[in-house]
Structure formats: structure tokens, C-alpha cells
Amino acid sequence: MNILALDTSMGACSAAVLLADGATQRIVLCEESMARGHAEALMPMVAEVMTEAGLDFAALDLIAATLGPGSFTGVRIAIAAARGFALATGAHPWGTDSLTVMAKAALERGIAADGKPFAVAVDARGERLYFGLYDADGRKLAGPLLIDAGEAADLLPGELAAAVGNSAAHLAEAAMVRGHRLEAKLADLQPNAAALAELALEAEETLPTLRPLYLRPPDAKPQAAAAVARR
């Protein structure tokens, strides 16, 4: 199984190739933190990982992309690229939400070594966060949700003791008010294409197409709508 995975959903841009032959696996990853510029950075990353992997595009079996939530523009970049590659190569498309990819990456950094569930919390602006709950194996328990920190804290299982993501500290503060002690970890955590590729390899089904997962309305409004709102 040869997989090309793309992520541009949040504060990083990454591309990865996973080569799996039975029990043998190899991952080639190119990743860079960035607030903008994902569209310009992605294709050179794809070229780099494909070259390093020594793989021809015709040999790809699966094209994966993160579907959101995240930046409106960023989410569309990876999905559009993945759709194009799938159409050109005949490879099957696959995708999952950004928080599940973050959970997979957090597991690889030892977040659930205690065997307990954990939360993923990402700043969604406007005093809200993108929130998900995962068990110690990375299986989704809830989410992704767009809620405020207090509502998220009310959903935390009693045994949960850690949260990851750039809003983990915000969630921990809300949990403390409710008498739930929570440790904020991995504030720098981002979705990455290597974790996405591993999830794609584990998946039992492909998708007919890739669609963005938006949990909040766009910040930008059409000019006509904005003019009406000002009246």
C-alpha cells in the first residue's frame, strides 16, 4: 500500500508518503509550521516526499487529506490537491477530521501512556474551541465539536487527566472551576501528514469523495451581506 497524505488544515503544512509492504513500513515526511502560505508550500513538499520515497505517482493506492475543522482556506487547499491527485492517478481518496489526526500524533508522543482517555482542544476564536475526546488507543469518544470551554469541561470523563492542543490550558482552567483537575500538554501540537497516513493505512474503507468539515461560519462575508448587516 502506497499512501500520499496531505495536511494544510491549521498552523502547519505537511506532506507524507507511507510505503507499507506487509509488516514493513516506511514514512517520508516534510512538515513546516506556518500561519499562511500553505498553497505555495504544499506542492514542493509533495515533490520532495515523492522523490525521497522513490515513488511514481502512478504507484499510489490512496490519497489522504485532513477534512477540518481548521482554517477555511487551509482545509480547502489539501482537499483540492488530494482530489486532483486522486483523479489523475486513479488512487482512492480518504480523509478524516483534524482532531483525530492530532490525537494520533499525540499518542505517538506518549500522551496516553497512563492508559487514560484524553481531550484535544484547539482555539476556534470567539471564546470557543474545537473539541474532541479520545480513548487511550486514539478511538474517538466525542467530537469534533465547536463549543466553549465550559461546555467542553462538562463533557470530560472523570478519569480523564490530560488535554492537548493550543487551547488545552483554557480547557484546564474551565475544568478546574468544576473541580476537575486537568493537565494541559503539547500546546504546540498540530495535525501532520504522517499521522494522517497511518490512520489511512488502518482504515477499512475509502471515501467516494473528500468534503470539507466546517463547524463554524466563515469570518469573511459577501459584500452585499455585510452592507445589509451595517444598516
- Please tell me the distance from the alpha carbon of residue 132 to that of residue 117, in angstroms, as a whole number: 11
- Please tell me the distance from the alpha carbon of residue 35 to that of residue 27, in angstroms, as a whole number: 25
Task: Note the pLDDT of residue 218.
Answer: 63
- Please tell me the distance from the alpha carbon of residue 8 to that of residue 152, in angstroms, as a whole number: 25
pLDDT in tens, 82-116: 999 999 999 999 999 999 999 999 999 999 999 99
Task: Indicate the residue type of 155.
Answer: L
Asked if pLDDT for residue 61 goes beyond 50, the answer is yes
Task: Note the pLDDT of residue 22.
Answer: 86
Name the average pLDDT for the chain.
94
Mean pLDDT within 55-73: 97
What is the helix (H) or strand (E) element at residue 169, kind and residue range? helix 168-177
Burial of 126 (0-12, 13-18, 19+ CB in 10 A): exposed
- Please tell me the distance from the alpha carbon of residue 77 to that of residue 61, in angstroms, as a whole number: 21
Task: Note the pLDDT of residue 204.
Answer: 86
pLDDT in tens, 164-208: 999 999 999 999 999 999 999 999 999 999 999 999 999 989 999
The residues with which 4 forms a beta bridge, in sequence order, are 17, 63
Task: Note the pLDDT of residue 94.
Answer: 98
Task: Note the pLDDT of residue 217.
Answer: 72
The number of beta carbons lying within 10 Å of the beta carbon of residue 212 is 18
pTM comes to 0.93
